[in-house]
Structure 1
Amino acid sequence: MPCFFQPLLQAVAWLAGRLPQRGVLALGRALAWGLWPALGSRRRIARINVDLCFPGLGAAARRRLADASVVNTVVGALELLRAWHAPPAVLRGLADIEGLDHLRAALGRGQGVLLMCGHFTHTELAVRLLGEALGRPVRVVVRRHNDACLERWFERSRAAVYGPSIGKKDVRGLIRALQAGEPVVYSADQNFTYQNAFVPFFGVPAATLTATPELVRRGRAVLLPFWYRRGDDGRYRIRIEAGWPGWPSDDPVEDAARYMRELETVVRECPEQYLWAHRRFKTRPPGEAPVY
């Protein structure tokens, strides 16, 4: 995105940060339908993923779910800007949080915490709400944007809320943050072409990172599941669970499969809020045909 578009984006961010919650959701839905023709590629990917993962649904129901997920992705873009730019008073009281004691207990022991989550459409807003409740920033691991001008603005916005972000491939930076006793939000549910194994996700073999247990070990940290969804009333339900019993095991592949099983259970609670527009199954097991 050329830099001369940045003032417009900043204006949208200012608006998204200050509208009432119902206004943000309504604006996001309106933008989604206004941009519908331009979202053809995302709609196609979402429909393929939903067809693969929900074969028990009828064709019309799968179409509705895929389209709803694309609408939520656009709404999520406004929620992202809201996470970065909303004054604290605007977000106050917008979330119900369970299990905060699990996180406080680990941090109180001086341990870093890897908050394991998934790619839902409002992840960074959930992180902002968690940080507000915790009373300290929660770090995020992100994919750097290819546009340098946009990336600079993204990073300034994120750093003001979460502290400096950690690049997706910056393993040393992630480990340093964990060793320093920081909470870091992390997800490994997108297509991985390295240190991966094919494990089931909704019954479909998915290339999944197997290095997460090693990250936790090297960071002298603890893993806590971090889940969230937006309710029909516009409020956010956030929960931090105790670590999964028996995780990590001695088998990184089984540990990756456990993560996918746990994530699948949560996705089924609100499947339309999951990022189905990502090519999750781009990398295929040997001999299997491409799906996109």
Structure 2
Amino acid sequence: MKLKLTIALLWLLHLLPFRVMQWIAIPLGSLLFFVVSGRRKVGLTNLRLCFPEWTENQRRSVLRQHFIQMTSTLLGYSILLHGSKNRLRRLIHIEDFENFTVVQDRPIIMLVPHFLGLDFGGMGFIMDHQGSSMYAEQRGVFHEISLKIRSRYNNPQLIKRSAGIRSIVRTLKSKLPFYYLPDQDMGPQQSIFAPFFGIPTATLPMLGKLAEMTDAAVVPVITTIAKGHVVSRYYPAWENFPSGDMLADTTRMNQFIEDIAREHPSQYYWLHRRFKTRPEGEASFY
């Protein structure tokens, strides 16, 4: 019942233009910035670690903008769920897609860090192409809505995180592009410490492993929020990757994500405890 009611409410919401949703997100996101104190604290801690040269007012301003843009994307999920293909194409502007097509004779790992527009970028791709991605089991209505959005077109292969790397390898070897979200702290067991904003950061070294095991090209895809639309940009496939050096490959990935986060500082997902796992003997940042 709760799922049906949520879907109905999202249908009503999707009738609004995305630009209007962005206006609504200004007061609503600003309110969330003040009300959701736990996540605000995490976000400010991350920004202090990554941008020590900023003033505290600069960090708070960027994080408030982050809450506003995150709210606009959450409202925009109504369009992802109910919008027509024509409307989705007007909403999602795809740039430099030739960087994907030039390597499409190979397996492709689409490297998709946690920027706010990532689900819009996924929709922009899956509307017209087959693909695969991984998801984590979660509770609640949002999980069901997210799966419905991801499954709207072209019957994508959605792999549970618990299925492990073998399922991904099989998918890539079948030439199904893999939409890979790499940058969360998954704990110490399978991670290595690679620098991110100059901080040793627990990072899964899976990107290099997958590329090596499947001869896959790595094509980064970054989707950012603009006025009235989103922009999904495809970057050139990485050359000389993997290098055979696990730490070097993981560091290269983190450096790329850092570079884009510096370009769009309010749009990287700062509310995750990215630096939760610390080297032995080091105190928690949180």
Same-fold call, TM > 0.5? yes
CA 1:79–1:217: 2 relative to 1, 3 Å: farther
CA 1:53–1:153: 2 relative to 1, 3 Å: closer
Of 167, 176, 179, 2:170 maps to: 176
Task: Give the equivalent residue in structure 2 for 1:29.
Answer: 26
Task: Give the equivalent residue in structure 2 for 1:250.
Answer: 244
Of 55, 68, 90, 1:93 maps to: 90
Aligned mates of 1:144, 1:72 — CA distance in 2? 25
Give the match's secondary structure for 2:94.
strand
Question: Is there any run of 5+ residues in structure 2 with no aligned partner, and where?
Answer: none
Structure 1, residues 188-246: CA drift from partner, whole Å, max 9, x if none?
11113232111121122211111222222333422111122122x23322221222232
Task: Give the equivalent residue in structure 1 for 2:159.
Answer: 166
Confirm or deny: 8 A CA contact 1:158 1:164 kept in the other structure.
Answer: no
C-alpha deviation, 1:151, in angstroms: 4.0
Confirm or deny: 8 A CA contact 1:119 1:274 kept in the other structure.
Answer: yes
**1:283 maps to 2:281:** no
C-alpha deviation, 1:14, in angstroms: 1.6
Give the match's secondary structure for 1:93.
helix
Alignment coverage as a number of residue pairs: 283
**1:66 maps to 2:60:** no
- Amino acid of the residue matched to residue 155 of structure 1? L
**1:112 maps to 2:107:** yes
**1:141 maps to 2:134:** yes
- Amino acid of the residue matched to residue 197 of structure 1? I
Confirm or deny: 8 A CA contact 1:20 1:90 kept in the other structure.
Answer: no
CA 1:89–1:15: 2 relative to 1, 3 Å: farther
Of 80, 84, 108, 1:83 maps to: 80
C-alpha deviation, 1:278, in angstroms: 0.4
**Structure 1 length as normaliser, TM-score?**
0.88
Question: Is there any run of 5+ residues in structure 1 with no aligned partner, and where?
Answer: none
Aligned mates of 1:164, 1:240 — CA distance in 2? 21
**Structure 2 length as normaliser, TM-score?**
0.89
Structure 1, residues 116-137: CA drift from partner, whole Å, max 9, x if none?
02101121111112334xx224
**1:209 maps to 2:201:** no
Aligned mates of 1:151, 1:131 — CA distance in 2? 19
C-alpha deviation, 1:142, in angstroms: 2.0
**1:200 maps to 2:226:** no
Confirm or deny: 8 A CA contact 1:202 1:264 kept in the other structure.
Answer: yes
C-alpha deviation, 1:16, in angstroms: 4.1
Task: Give the equivalent residue in structure 2 for 1:238.
Answer: 232
Confirm or deny: 8 A CA contact 2:131 2:178 kept in the other structure.
Answer: yes
CA 1:239–1:289: 2 relative to 1, 3 Å: same
Confirm or deny: 8 A CA contact 1:118 1:263 kept in the other structure.
Answer: yes
Structure 1, residues 161-194: CA drift from partner, whole Å, max 9, x if none?
3624222333233222211211221121111323
Confirm or deny: 8 A CA contact 1:191 1:279 kept in the other structure.
Answer: yes
Structure 1, residues 107-158: CA drift from partner, whole Å, max 9, x if none?
2x2x3211002101121111112334xx2244332222134x6644542332
Aligned mates of 1:272, 1:36 — CA distance in 2? 13
- Range 214-223 or range 116-125, more displaced: 214-223
Aligned mates of 1:218, 1:240 — CA distance in 2? 23
Aligned mates of 1:32, 1:12 — CA distance in 2? 19
Aligned-residue RMSD, C-alpha = 2.2
- Range 136-145 or range 269-278, more displaced: 136-145
Aligned mates of 1:76, 1:214 — CA distance in 2? 32
